[in-house]
Amino acid sequence: MSNSASKPIAVVTGASAGIGAVYADRLAARGYDLVLVARRAERLKTLSAKLLRAYGAKVEVIGADLTKEEGLARVEKVLATNPAITLLVNNAGNGTLGSTINTSDENAASTIALNITALTRLTRAALPAFLSRNAGAIINIASVMALHSLPITSLYSGTKGYVVNFSRGLQEELAGTGVRLQLVLPAATATEFYEFAGMPLSAFDPAVVMTAEDMVDAALAGFDQGEAITLPSVHDRALWETYDAARATLFAATQTGEPAPRYQAA
Ligand SMILES: NC(=O)C1=CN([C@@H]2O[C@H](COP(=O)(O)OP(=O)(O)OC[C@H]3O[C@@H](n4cnc5c(N)ncnc54)[C@H](OP(=O)(O)O)[C@@H]3O)[C@@H](O)[C@H]2O)C=CC1
Ligand SMILES: CC(=O)[C@H](N)C(=O)O
C-alpha cells in the first residue's frame, strides 16, 4: 500500500456503474486517490472499499444528483478548492433512445442537464485551479453518436455533439498551457446505460458492443499516447483524420462573404 498523502486525486463522475466504475478502478491502480460522484452513494461506498483493499486508494464519496443545483454546486466546490485534484473525468451521462416526441419532458431535461450543463460547469470549475497550477487534465466522455444522428438519438446525439464542439474549442484555448483535455468517443459499450435509454442492449448485434473494461483501457492508452481525441473502437485512425480534414476544408469554404452562385438569381 503506497503513501496516500502524496497521491494526486482524480474526480470521476458517474462512477457507480459502467464506464465510470472502470475508470475509478483503473485510475486507482495507476496510483490516484479518488473523488467519486453519482446519486447511488451506497454503490460508491462499496466500490470505495474495494479500491482501498486492492490499491490502497483513498476515496471520497459524493452522493450527488448532477442535474440538481445543490449536487452540482457541491462537486464544483470540491474541484475549485482541493489542490490535490489533477484529473477530472466528466463521464456521467445518459440518453433516451427513442423519438423526440415520445421522450418525456423529464428525460429530455435530465439528458440536457447531465450531458451538457453538468459537464460544462464541472469543466469550468476545474479549469481555474488547473490553469493556476499550469497542470491537470480533463477527460470528457462524448460518444460516436456525436458524429451521427439516428431517428432514435436526436436528443442524445445533440448533447454529445455539444460535448465534442465544446471540448475541441477548449483544447484550442488550452494550447500552450500545461492543462490538457482528452475527448473520448466510445461506441456501444455494455453498461447500464441501456436501462435508462429504454432499449435493451440485446437489441444490438453483440459483435458491435465493447466491454466497459476494454473501452476504458483503450481510452487510457489513448490518453497515455497524448491523443486529443480518442475513438476506442475505430481501428483505422486515418478515417478520423480524413473526416476532420473534410470538416476543416468545408469550414474554410464557408468564409466567402458571398451567396453561392446556386442561390443567386439567374
Ligand atoms: N454505454 C454506451 O454504449 C456508451 C456510453 N457513452 C457515455 O459514457 C458515459 C457513461 O455511461 P455508461 O457507463 O455507459 O452508463 P451507466 O448508465 O452504466 O452509468 C452512468 C453513470 O452516470 C451516473 N449518473 C446518471 N445520472 C446521474 C445524475 N443525475 N447525477 C449524477 N450521476 C448520474 C450513474 O450513477 P447514478 O445512477 O448512481 O447516479 C452512473 O454512475 C455517458 O456519458 C454515456 O453517454 C458513450 C458512448 C457509448
Ligand atoms: C447507441 C448509443 O446511444 C450509445 N450509448 C452511444 O453513445 O453510442
204-224 pLDDT, tens digit per residue, is 999 999 999 999 999 999 999
Which strands form 179-184's sheet, in the order they lie side by side?
Answer: 59-63, 33-38, 9-13, 85-90, 136-141, 179-184, 229-230
Helix (H, G, I), strand (E, B) or coil at 229: strand
| Pocket residue to mutate for ligand 1, from 91, 185, 201, 211, most atoms within 8 A of Cβ | 91
> What pLDDT is attached to residue 266?
79
* pLDDT tops 50 at residue 191: yes
Ligand nearest to the CA of residue 163, numbered in listed order: 1
The reply to whether ipTM tops 0.95 is: yes
Question: At CA 178, angle to CA 125 and CA 243, rounded to 5?
Answer: 85
Q: What is the torsional sign of CA 83, 122, 27, 133?
A: negative
Contact between 45 and 39 under an 8 Å Cβ cutoff? The reply is: no
> What pLDDT is attached to residue 5?
61
Task: Please state, in angstroms and rounded to a whole number, the distance separating the CA atoms of residues 7 and 4.
Answer: 5
Give residue for cell 493556476.
132
Atom of ligand 1 nearest to the CA of 16: 41
- Residue 156 is a catalytic residue: yes
Contact between 200 and 154 under an 8 Å Cβ cutoff? The reply is: no
Q: What is the pTM of this model?
A: 0.97
* pLDDT tops 70 at residue 29: yes
Task: Please state, in angstroms and rounded to a whole number, the distance separating the CA atoms of residues 48 and 16.
Answer: 10
Cβ density class 216-226: b for 16+ within 10 Å, e for less: bebbbebbeee
* pLDDT tops 80 at residue 3: no
In the chain, where the domains are located: 4-237
Ligand nearest to the CA of residue 231, numbered in listed order: 1
> How does DSSP classify residue 90?
E
Residue 138 bridge partners (DSSP): 88, 181
Q: How confident is the model at residue 6 (pLDDT cuts 50, 70, 90)?
A: confident
Q: Provide the CATH number for the domain formed by 4-237 in this structure.
A: 3.40.50.720
The mean pLDDT value of the chain amounts to: 97
Instruction: List the one residue out of 95, 114, 88, 264 whose CA is nearest residue 195.
Output: 95
Q: How confident is the model at residue 57 (pLDDT cuts 50, 70, 90)?
A: very high
Q: How far apart are the first and last CA of the chain?
A: 78
* pLDDT tops 60 at residue 87: yes
| Pocket residue to mutate for ligand 1, from 36, 88, 107, 193, most atoms within 8 A of Cβ | 193
Task: Please state, in angstroms and rounded to a whole number, the distance separating the CA atoms of residues 175 and 206.
Answer: 39
The alpha carbons of the chain give a radius of gyration, in whole angstroms, of 19
* Greater pLDDT, 6 or 239: 239
Over range 186-210, report the average pLDDT. Answer: 95
Task: Please state, in angstroms and rounded to a whole number, the distance separating the CA atoms of residues 67 and 159.
Answer: 14
The protein residue whose alpha carbon is closest to atom 4 in ligand 2 is: 188
Q: Single out the catalytic residue among 23, 32, 55, 156.
A: 156
State which amino acid sits at residue 79.
L
Contact between 158 and 111 under an 8 Å Cβ cutoff? The reply is: no
Rounded to the nearest angstrom, the distance between the alpha carbon of 233 and the centre of ligand 2 is 13
What percent of the chain shows pLDDT beyond 90? Answer: 97
> What pLDDT is attached to residue 4?
47
CA 113 to chain centre: 14
